[in-house]
């Protein structure tokens, strides 16, 4: 590796205009402040992913490959997955390199295969704090190794993963003990990344980890938004916290909401992505209000609030369709465990899948709330016209829920890696590997939300149950096995109700 001073010069993250005239770039978002002041059209910033691997030389590649070849216990694993992009140099043992390599290839969004990677916060934080690469590398190695161990059924790698996890936790705890180190991007990035490791534990452990990450975000304060890496990390913690609150029946923390105002000063607040993040917190609080309402709030007021959120979500779906739409296709004769009703949808990349599914999850929660509110209203005395209107609204909401659930299911083939991009539609599709390294982490919550929805058809719900069980048994995601138990109970109750309706008074 070249000296740090040379490395910094090579990986300038200034916008294209500032690099061209060799001026200092303030790297403001969404556009450079220098370009804004001079009236220029900002050409944007470099892909952080390219900067991560920019300085890996042929010597590093050769040295890494030779080191791998010397480790016989890794020979069988190294031949089973694509070794590029290579991990940063000087990581230590080949197990470390293997874990980081697998993590980067399977979890990071960027210029890789469009079907892999959905995390976007790591490249920016990594290049901004290279001196803390041991802590970041330990975190990535732990997740990469445990995922690889579970998907390939190799217990010896799981032992190395546990050891690496302990090492990363110790390094994070040391950083958290320092007032200076604790608020650095690299520390938060390590904390967020290690949260993925908790997916193999249980919901309680994962939720506790997310709450710790949220507390760290709050402790970083308003000044944290001075770096480009802060925004995607803030969004990741916010999204995880939304999932925890919705599942636990809690309102979204106010201290995190207070950071929205500061973050908005540095963001394009008209973008669908930003508006979706704000809506997520509002939907969480709506769900809490609905489930805890004992008559203090008129149901009509809650219905009006839910309707407003639904309109905003529909507007966001419209923006997403224009900016990052998807195509729907059929796979006649496709494996029914992967292609539900032979359907699959194709997106630009896994990041697009994540954004679309996050929006669908929120819409499902809002629609479920609307159905609950409507049923509460229908239980009261209503004039015939109002009752008819409410009943029609109830049917319409059920249809929306059914579509949202099937749209989520249709993202599974690409998330698993058996569908790659629009350019590959119509070509031969490899379905030999039904458990992708990162698919379970990305798809567990969307599938759980769809399967738990009050309007999900029994056949589709059973398909979701099988997929979540596959994530648990074949990818080692214990969280998926815990969550699927809720869906199994719902399915059993639905089946029992169907039997009661069929048998009627003749039952028993």
Query: pLDDT tens for residues 216-249?
Result: 999 999 888 887 778 888 999 999 999 999 999 9
Residue that wins the pLDDT comparison between 473 and 117:
473
Residue where the block lists tokens 């990363």:
168
**Cβ atoms 137, 100 nearer than 8 A:** yes
Closest CA to 283 of 231, 360, 350, 215: 360
How much is the pLDDT for 35? Answer: 84
Give the pLDDT band of residue 434 (cuts 50, 70, 90): very low
User: In this structure, are residues 344 and 414 in contact, taking their beta carbons and an 8 Å threshold?
Assistant: yes
> Pseudo-torsion of CA 146, 147, 149, 155, nearest 10°?
40
Choice among 203-217, 256-270, 302-316 with the minimum mean pLDDT = 256-270
Whether the Cβ atoms of residue 188 and residue 236 lie closer than 8 Å to each other: no
Closest to 107 in 3D by CA, of 165, 225, 192, 8: 192
- pLDDT tens-digit map of 135-175: 888 898 999 899 888 888 888 888 999 999 999 999 999 99
pTM for the full model?
Answer: 0.79
Q: Is it the case that residue 500 has pLDDT exceeding 60?
A: no
Q: What is the mean pLDDT of residues 265-275?
A: 83
| Eight-class DSSP state of 108 | B
Q: Are strands 327-330 and 343-346 parallel, antiparallel or unpaired?
A: antiparallel
Q: What is the mean pLDDT of residues 35-40?
A: 81
Q: Cβ distance 407 to 345 under 8 Å?
A: yes
Indicate the DSSP class of residue 88: P
| Mean pLDDT taken over the chain | 80
Confidence of residue 109 (pLDDT cuts 50, 70, 90): low
Is the pLDDT at 429 greater than 80? The verdict is no
3-state helix, strand, coil in the chain (%, to 5): 70, 0, 30
The whole-number average pLDDT for the span 178-193 is: 89
3-state secondary structure (DSSP) of residue 150: helix
**Residue 278 in this model has a pLDDT that exceeds 60:** yes
Give which of 286, 365, 368, 357 is closest to 317, Cα–Cα. 357
Contact 306, 373 (CB under 8 A): yes
- For the cut 60, the answer to whether the pLDDT of residue 111 exceeds it is no
Between CA 394 and CA 399 the distance in angstroms is 9
- DSSP 8-state class, residue 253: P
Q: What is the pLDDT of residue 15?
A: 82
**Rounded to whole angstroms, how far apart are CA atoms 95 and 71?**
9
Largest CA distance in the chain: 85
Mean pLDDT of 188-211: 90
pLDDT of residue 379: 94
Residue 502 has pLDDT above 50, yes or no: no
Within 13 Å and on the Cβ side, how many CA atoms surround 268?
8
Q: What angle do CA 323, 353, 418 make, to 5 degrees?
A: 125
CA nearest to 419, candidates 331, 351, 325: 331
Question: What pLDDT digit, counting tens, does each position of 442-490 carry?
Answer: 999 999 999 999 789 999 999 999 999 999 998 889 999 999 999 999 9
């Amino acid at each position: 590796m070249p000296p740090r001073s040379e490395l910094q010069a090579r990986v300038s993250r200034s916008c294209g205009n500032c690099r061209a005239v060799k001026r200092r770039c303030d790297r403001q978002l969404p556009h450079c402040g220098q370009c804004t002041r001079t009236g220029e059209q900002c050409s944007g910033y470099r892909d952080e992913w390219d900067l991560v691997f920019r300085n890996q030389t042929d010597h590093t590649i050769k040295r890494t490959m030779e080191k791998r070849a010397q480790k016989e216990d890794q020979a069988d694993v190294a031949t089973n997955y694509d070794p590029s992009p290579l991990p940063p140099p000087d990581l230590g043992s080949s197990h470390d390199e293997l874990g980081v390599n697998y993590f980067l290839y399977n979890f990071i969004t960027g210029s890789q295969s469009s079907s892999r990677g959905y995390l976007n916060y790591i490249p920016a934080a990594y290049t901004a704090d290279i001196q803390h690469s041991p802590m970041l590398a330990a975190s990535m190695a732990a997740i990469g190794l445990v995922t690889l161990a579970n998907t390939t059924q190799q217990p010896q790698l799981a032992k190395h993963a546990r050891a690496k996890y302990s090492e990363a936790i110790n390094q994070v705890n040391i950083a958290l003990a320092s007032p200076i180190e604790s608020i650095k991007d690299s520390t938060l990035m390590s904390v967020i990344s290690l949260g993925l490791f908790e997916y193999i534990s249980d919901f309680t452990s994962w939720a506790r980890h997310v709450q710790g990450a949220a507390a760290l975000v709050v402790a970083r304060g308003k000044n944290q938004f001075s770096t480009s890496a802060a925004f995607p990390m803030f969004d990741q913690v916010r999204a995880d916290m939304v999932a925890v609150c919705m599942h636990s029946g809690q309102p979204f923390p106010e201290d995190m909401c207070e950071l929205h105002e500061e973050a908005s000063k540095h963001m394009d607040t008209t973008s669908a992505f930003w508006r979706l993040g704000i809506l997520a917190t509002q939907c969480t609080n709506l769900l809490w209000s609905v489930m805890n309402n004992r008559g203090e709030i008129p149901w009509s007021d809650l219905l009006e609030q839910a309707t407003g959120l639904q309109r905003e979500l529909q507007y966001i779906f419209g923006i997403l369709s224009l900016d990052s739409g998807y195509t729907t296709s059929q796979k006649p004769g496709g494996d029914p465990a992967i292609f539900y009703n032979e359907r699959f949808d194709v997106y630009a990349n896994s990041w697009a899948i994540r954004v679309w599914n996050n929006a669908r999850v929120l819409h499902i929660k809002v629609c479920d709330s609307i159905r609950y509110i409507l049923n509460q209203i229908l239980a009261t005395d209503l004039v015939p016209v109002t009752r008819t209107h409410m009943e029609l609204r109830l049917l319409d909401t059920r249809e929306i829920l059914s579509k949202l659930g099937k749209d989520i299911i249709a993202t599974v083939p690409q998330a698993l890696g058996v569908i790659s991009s629009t350019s590959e539609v119509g070509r031969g599709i490899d379905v030999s590997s039904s458990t992708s390294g990162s698919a379970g982490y990305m798809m567990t919550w969307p599938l759980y939300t769809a399967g738990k929805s009050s309007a999900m058809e029994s056949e589709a719900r059973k398909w979701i149950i099988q997929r979540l069980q596959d994530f648990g048994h074949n990818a080692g995601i214990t969280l998926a096995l815990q969550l699927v138990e809720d869906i199994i109970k719902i399915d059993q109750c639905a089946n029992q109700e169907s039997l009661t309706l069929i048998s009627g008074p003749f039952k028993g």
